[in-house]
Amino acid sequence: MVTVISRWDRQQRQLRLQRHGLFPRKLGLSSSRRKLFRSLLITLAIIAILPPLYFHFSLRRFHQIQLRNCGWMQSPPLVCAHGGDSTKAFPNTMNAYNNALSSGVDCIEIDVSRSSDGVLFALHDRDLQRISGNSTSRVGYLTMEEIADLGSSLQHSLEFHDVNIPTIEDALKFVSGSVRQVILDAKVGPPLFEKGLAKDILSV
């Protein structure tokens, strides 16, 4: 004999057993436990992920600040010797240029002045006045021969003995192959001032 029990009958039977404490609500308890366990896992996962994320973004922020403050170290500035190294030699002399090159500078700045007969010298009016002892001396008032003779005749009276004044052509030949950059600082002065000076410099 086969007895057929409907779904409704089963549910009613389970309810009666539950009222008498004979049939615990296993399905309900199991589902709640699974939800609780899942929530716990998610919470633990979030807690585990937060510190690495915080560390990652903090480190990234630190690198950005460091790059902004110290980025120049990736492209350091050029070290340029004004008139060469004049600590042990007279400015704009071969000795000054040689000392600067020996120090490993990136560039050398050379003052450019024009004599009264149009020759370009590596010389500043200030340095000419120091050599001659005359505060009114100007490169543009002297000829090429006078400038050359002035350096040779007065060098022994100065703290630096080598004050032979090179022409721009000689100075460029000496330094241009040994530095990354050469800066020519054109000094405008009498008697021609800026007339044709740029053209003369570019023609060297």
pLDDT tens figures, 78-97: 889 999 998 888 899 899 99
pLDDT score at 164: 80
What value does the mean pLDDT take over residues 45-52? 85
- The per-residue pLDDT for 162 is 62
Task: Give 80-86 contacts, CB < 8 A, sequence gap 24+.
Answer: 80/105, 80/106, 80/107, 80/108, 80/109, 80/181, 80/183, 81/105, 81/107, 81/108, 81/109, 82/109, 83/109, 83/110, 83/111, 83/124, 83/127, 84/108
Exposure class string for 47-69: b at 16+ Cβ within 10 A, else e: eeeeeeeeeeeeeeeeeeeeeee
- CATH superfamily membership of 80-202: Phosphatidylinositol (PI) phosphodiesterase (3.20.20.190)
pLDDT bracket for residue 2 (50, 70, 90):
very low
pLDDT for the residue 192? 67
Cα(16)–Cα(22) distance, integer angstroms: 9
Q: What is the mean pLDDT of residues 141-148?
A: 90
Rounded to 5 degrees, φ, ψ at 182 are -120, 130
Residue 21 has pLDDT above 90, yes or no: no
pLDDT given for residue 1 in this prediction: 47
185/19: higher pLDDT: 185
pLDDT of 160 strictly over 60: no
pLDDT of residue 196: 79
Phi, psi of 181 (to 5 degrees): -150, 145
Query: DSSP secondary structure string, 29-91?
Result: HHHHHHHHHHHHHHHHHHHHHHHHHHHHHHHHHHHHHHHHHHGGGTSPPP-EEETS-TTSS-T
pLDDT at 5 over 60: no
What is the model's pLDDT at position 171? 95
Q: What is the pLDDT of residue 53?
A: 84
What pLDDT was estimated at residue 22?
54
pLDDT, tens digit (0-9, with 9 covering 90-100), for 176-197: 889 989 999 988 876 666 777 8
What would the mean pLDDT of 72-82 be, rounded to a whole number? 78
For the chain, the domains span 10-72, 80-202
pLDDT at residue number 52? 85
Question: Which DSSP category does 111 fall into?
Answer: E
For all residues of the chain together, what is the average pLDDT?
80
